[in-house]
Chain A
Amino acid sequence: MLLASALLAALAVLLAVPVPILLDRAAWPRRAPATALVLWQAIALSGGLSMVGALATFGLAPFGDDLVHAAGLFLVVVSTEKTVPTSDVWPTLAVGAAALLVAHLVLNLALTIVVSVRERRRHRDLVTLLSSPDPGRPGTRLLDDPAPLAYCLPGVGSLPMTVLSQGLVELLSDDELGAVVAHERAHLAQRHALMTTAFRAWSLSLPWFPIASRARASVARLVEYLADDRARASHGAEPLARAIALVGGSESTGPMEAGAADRSAILDRVRRVGLAPLPGAARVLITVGAVALVVVPTVLLLGPALLDG
């Protein structure tokens, strides 16, 4: 158990700092956004599992040789004796920290989901009152505003919605507009909001851990790439690149508030449109690595119990 704990702790540290920094800086995710998203999810899942697992295996080591039996014994002892049955304070602290971390992450995820669902519902009510249905495009609404805007609202108990502004319709030609709508529909069809919401919850629940917000930004960028790829497949590279540049390059989008990272992201997307995807073999290899990342801590945690039968 102590060896497993040390290995899990090492994995947790690797996945908390160097691995996300390397992935955030890597160039290949631009050419394989779907694969990179799988890897980010594996890193988050495996990192959380290793962190909690390292604490739990260390804290429960006095109770047994494998995690499952030790956890069972620990619960029996705590519930019958109403006290923590060890003289050593560190294992007890570790078990407490593991439980707190799990509760913190789960509660924060739930809270973030509840808040964003409520805000989206309010926004949907506003859109319903202030926009008109686009007669040519089902599920699309036209907002009477001169700023060129396009965004989508995932449906929670209602139909998903794409919103375009009058300014956008006037700025873009038909094929460019088609590319924008295809981009937004890809967000909705591929449920990108689930992923961005989960990573936002993660970065909000760990404010002292700056790498979580880097991961969130990276995932947000990859999701845009994925939607761009879908739009390019259906409407061609040129209309998409023109649409991104025209909407980004129009100065009537309101006061300047966006950060520098956000601004260079737009140029980055225009340049990315012509890029060839990563070879299939490389994508498969990375996906296998992502699966291994989740399998390793799972085996370290549950393997001994399964071997014992």
Chain B
Amino acid sequence: MAALGELERSVMDQLWSTPAGLTAYDLVDLLPADAGKRLAPTTVLTVLSRLEKKGFVTRERSTRPHRYTAVASRADHSAELMRDVLDGADDRVAVLERFVGQVSPAEADALRELLLGRARDAS
């Protein structure tokens, strides 16, 4: 499964850098060969259909072969991810819990003082 995840990432990287979209055969040519063996087109199609189901790619069905494009840019998805992480302090959507939440500049100063104090105690 982990390997499939890595393939999904390589496919998305290609689609993100080609906004016009790619076919599965384009992707077979573009994706790095695994230990000297090119990826099978069926493998690429499996990955594409998984990505389609997850809502990351759409398929242009009017052309043959089907052309796949990314639903949103990499930057958009990064922003969505960061929103999930940074909104973690909100009660209603706290799905993720961060190691340490956000702090104000004053709080940051207090923390730095504390660190300096600890460093002095230690030496």
Contact between chains at B1 and A158 (CB < 8 Å)? yes
The binding surface of chain B is classed by DSSP as helix
**Which DSSP category, helix, strand, loop or mixed, fits chain A's interface?**
helix
- B86, B95, B108, B114: residue with the most chain A Cβ atoms closer than 10 Å: B95
**Could you say which of B81, B91, B105, B110 contacts A126, with CB atoms under 8 Å apart?**
B81
State whether the Cβ of B12 lies closer than 8 Å to any Cβ in chain A. Answer: yes
Q: Which residues of B contact A262 (CB under 8 A)?
A: 89, 101-102
**Contact: B97 with A267, CB < 8 Å?**
no
Select from chain B the residue with minimum beta-carbon distance to A123. Answer: B84
- The answer to whether the Cβ of B5 comes within 8 Å of any Cβ in the partner chain is yes
Q: Does A170 contact B (CB under 8 A)?
A: no
Neighbour of B77 across the interface among A129, A145, A247, CB < 8 A: A129
Q: List 27 A-B contacts (CB under 8 A).
A: A123-B84, A145-B82, A149-B85, A149-B99, A150-B100, A184-B99, A196-B97, A200-B91, A242-B115, A248-B101, A248-B111, A249-B103, A249-B108, A249-B115, A251-B105, A251-B108, A253-B103, A256-B103, A257-B86, A257-B89, A263-B107, A264-B107, A265-B101, A267-B110, A267-B111, A267-B114, A269-B100
Q: Apart from A245-B111, A255-B86, A263-B107, what are 18 other A-B pairs with CB-CB below 8 Å?
A: A126-B77, A129-B56, A130-B9, A132-B9, A149-B99, A151-B88, A200-B94, A204-B91, A204-B92, A242-B118, A245-B112, A245-B114, A249-B103, A262-B102, A263-B103, A265-B101, A266-B111, A267-B111
Which one, B77, B87, B95, B122, contacts A130 given CB within 8 A?
B77
A289 in the interface (beta carbon within 8 A): no
List B contacts of A158 (CB < 8 A): 1
Q: Please tell me which one of the listed residues B6, B93, B97, B103 contacts residue A266 in the complex, with CB atoms under 8 A apart.
A: B103
* Any B CB within 8 A of the CB of A34: no
Whole-angstrom CA separation of A213 from B94 in the bound complex: 13
B12-24 Cβ-contact flags toward A at 8 Å (1 or 0):
1000000000000
Is A241 an interface residue when CB atoms closer than 8 A count as contact? yes
Instruction: Say yes or no for B98: interface residue by CB 8 A criterion.
Output: yes
Closest beta carbon of chain A to B107's beta carbon, Å? 5
Structural contact, A266 and B99, CB atoms closer than 8 A: no
Is A120 in the interface zone, CB < 8 Å from B?
Answer: yes
**A183 touches B (CB below 8 Å):** yes
Q: Measured between C-beta atoms, what is the minimum distance from A302 to chain B in Å?
A: 36
Q: Are B97 and A220 in contact (CB under 8 A)?
A: yes
* Residue of A127, A213, A249, A265 contacting most chain B CB atoms (<10 Å): A249
Checking A128, A152, A241, A255 against B5 with a beta-carbon cut-off of 8 angstroms, the contacting residue is A128
Q: Is A30 an interface residue (CB 8 A)?
A: no
A250 within 8 A of B: yes
With A253-B102, A259-B89 known as contacts, the answer to whether A128 contacts B82 (CB < 8 A) is no
A116 within 8 A of B: yes
Q: How many residues of A contact B (CB 8 A)?
A: 64
Does B52 have its Cβ within 8 Å of any Cβ on chain A?
no
The verdict on B96 contacting chain A, using a C-beta distance below 8 Å, is yes
User: Is there contact, CB below 8 Å, between A254 and B56?
Assistant: no
- Given A204-B92, A253-B103, A257-B86, A126-B80 contact (CB < 8 Å): yes
Known: A120-B95, A187-B97, A257-B89. A248 touches B118 (CB 8 A): no
Task: Collect the chain B residues with CB atoms within 8 Å of residue A223's CB.
Answer: 97
| A169 → chain B closest CB, angstroms | 13
Tell me the chain B residues, 30-83 only, with Cβ under 8 Å from chain A. 54, 56, 74, 77-78, 80-82
